[in-house]
Amino acid sequence: MNEEFARSRLAKTCKQLYDRNLTVSAGGNMSVRLNTVEIIITPSGRNKGSLQPEDMVKMNLAGEIIGGGKPSIEHKFHLALYEENPETNAVVHCHPLYCTALAVNNKKIKSNITPEGALLLGRVPLIPYYTPGSQELVDAIMDYPKARAMLMSKHGALTQGNTLEEAYNRMEELEFQAKLQILAGRTKDLPDSEIEKICNM
What residues act catalytically?
74
What CA dihedral angle connects 94, 158, 82 and 142, to 10 degrees?
A: 130
Tell me if 115 sits within 8 A of 178, measured CB to CB: no
Can you tell me the distance from the alpha carbon of 70 to that of 122, in angstroms, rounded to the nearest whole number? 34
Q: What is the C-alpha separation between 65 and 77, in angstroms, rounded?
A: 15
Distance (Å) of CA 8 to CA 4, 42, 51, 56, 97: 6, 12, 10, 9, 26
Distance CA 134, CA 137 (A): 5
